Chains A and B, each alone.
Chain A
Amino acid sequence: MINRRSVMGLFAGAASLVAAPFASRAAQRATPRANEMFQTRDDLPPPPKNPENVPGTLAPRGRNGRMERLPEIDLESRMDFLRSVRTFANEVMSPAAGKRADDILASKGISPDTVMPMQDAIALLQDDPVVGARTRAWTSVQQLTWKNIKAECEDNADTYLSEMEAVDNRGPGTLELNPDLEMPDYTRHEIHIQPGGYVGNDFAGHMYDYGTNGFYTGRNDQDALHMTAAFGLPIPADGKVRRILDIGTGIGQLALALKERFPDAEVWGIDVGGPMVRYGHLRAVERGMDVNFAQRLAEDTRFPDNHFDLVTSYIMFHEVSPQGTKDIVNEAFRITRPGGIFYPIDFNLKNPFPRTAYGQYRRWWDHRWNNEVWTIKYRTNGLPDLVRAAGFDLNEEGPVALPRFGVMNATKPA
């Protein structure tokens, strides 16, 4: 994202990105309250240094490692605050709501570990003020986060557009936009209520970058999760990793992390959202990274058969329809080379049904009101079976690319 006060600094820092030696970053990380869901490695390469941006001094707002700072202190502060309220909703309000849910069940003589149909859980909990307050606070934070970043982008639309236009045709790395791409309807939703979704707003990439950083409650502002995933992925038995494709790449965070791990490989990221890959390309150019982006469908990647050593995705499948899932898995099989690996990372499927009434209520809320349209079907769609049916040998035991997430280590038989 552009820093309107330091346009000149746009390409500074790009050259400083060389594969740095591993170093423990544990000490550098300020994590006042660990969010249990997001576990990252301590042995990742450090983010690039930004020599123009020295803590404790006056400097162009510029970058903070892998992330560009928001252009104004007020916006940055509001976003920080929203992130803190989100942390509070997750770590204080949620347990309170969960306890309240148990009390409600107990008052009706229902044991707290009763697995009940989702509609029953909703009926029991939807009118409770403590449960409702948590749902409301989280949703309000989500809406306000999008509202703030959207206003910043749209109020400065010309600036942000010009910044992308200036590098659309510039390397390293290529950008392919297909404005006439025929998109399946399931990809056109405003998933997690992001304004315009992935396809419908020119600043979808900007909004996703800063909006999801709030969702990760600050734990991913250096792409630590994507880096953890990239450095945890298995490689083919013959050790050859020459070509990598990340499908549903969004703004290319995993693609860039993979390039950091495999600097000599040809890396591609594709996504249905034009504005997503466009911003991904901008981000890669700013960091001087040779990664290729294309607006294409994961079910129709237009790459040759047996082309890639490694095909990845990160939190894409829970946003894909059942038919889309099937088509994408088959396409992944076609383009993975014999002996190559397909490893889609997404929410763990080991426990497809929430074990508590409050969990059921929340799953419904996420689906219906956070507009995660496909997330319930994702849990019951049998992704592992589809992966096997496509022809892959599937190992669901390991390695764990990203702690807490599902293991889906699929090899195309040689």
Chain B
Amino acid sequence: MSEKVEKGRSKAAPFIPADSDAAVFLGNPHIDNLMSVVIALGAEIWADRQRLKVVERLLETEGKATTAMVEAYVPTAAEKEAWETERMAMVERVYSVLSRDTSNARPFGEERQF
């Protein structure tokens, strides 16, 4: 049960917790943590960028942009699609390096042979 819900109002039952926090996929739990950090940061940056797009759009069409207006704006289908394309492009720009071939990794102290 969530600790944010008073007992009398809760309809939740006891559950068996997962232990996925114990997973280490990248050899060191801190590196695993860092992946979560960089993805979370990406999401924060995108949220700002998204806001900025809405503000720009509102300034063009309404001449002003208040917080309430930004929250209330309903994008058109074309805008949504354009945003999605841009978001995917950002994701590829930022994260592609994670899939680069690392099989050529060499020890730091090894001299290169020509």
Report A's interface with B, CB cutoff 8 A. Answer: 5, 28, 30, 32-33, 53-61, 72-74, 77-78, 80-82, 84-85, 87-88, 92-93, 96-97, 100, 103, 127, 129-130, 132-137, 139-141, 143-144, 148, 153-155, 157, 161, 165, 177, 179, 181, 183, 185, 188-190, 193, 196-197, 199-204, 218, 274-275, 278, 369-371
Contact = CB atoms under 8 A, between A and B. Distances in A.
A97 B32 CA distance: 17
Given A73-B50, A155-B4, 9 more contacts: A32-B85, A55-B76, A73-B54, A78-B46, A87-B91, A88-B88, A92-B92, A130-B98, A148-B43
A76 B102 CA distance: 35
Given A97-B99, A370-B20, A81 B9 contact: no
Interface string B49-81: 011001000000010000001111111110111
Interface residues of B, number: 61
Interface of B: 1-2, 4-5, 9-18, 20, 23, 25-27, 32, 35-36, 39-40, 42-44, 46-47, 50-51, 54, 62, 69-77, 79-81, 83-85, 87-88, 90-92, 95-96, 98-103
Contact of B11 (A132, A153, A177): A177
Contacts of A5: 71-72
B26 A144 contact: no
B39 A144 contact: yes
B15 to A, nearest CB: 3
Interface on chain A toward B: helix, strand, loop, or mixed SS? helix
Contact of B72 (A60, A74, A203): A60
Given A54-B74, A103-B103, A371 B18 contact: yes
Contacts of A134: 98-99
B71 A73 contact: yes
Contacts of B42: 81, 85
A40 B32 CA distance: 35
A157 B32 contact: no
Contacts of B76: 55-56
Contact of A130 (B20, B44, B99): B99
Contacts of A183: 13
Contact of B5 (A177, A185, A197, A202): A202
A61 B71 contact: yes
B74 A140 contact: no
25 contacts: A32-B84, A32-B88, A55-B74, A58-B73, A59-B74, A73-B51, A73-B70, A73-B73, A78-B46, A80-B83, A81-B87, A84-B88, A84-B91, A100-B101, A130-B98, A130-B101, A134-B98, A143-B20, A154-B4, A196-B2, A199-B12, A201-B12, A202-B10, A274-B12, A274-B13
A413 to B, nearest CB: 38
A60 B71 CA distance: 8
A257 B2 CA distance: 30
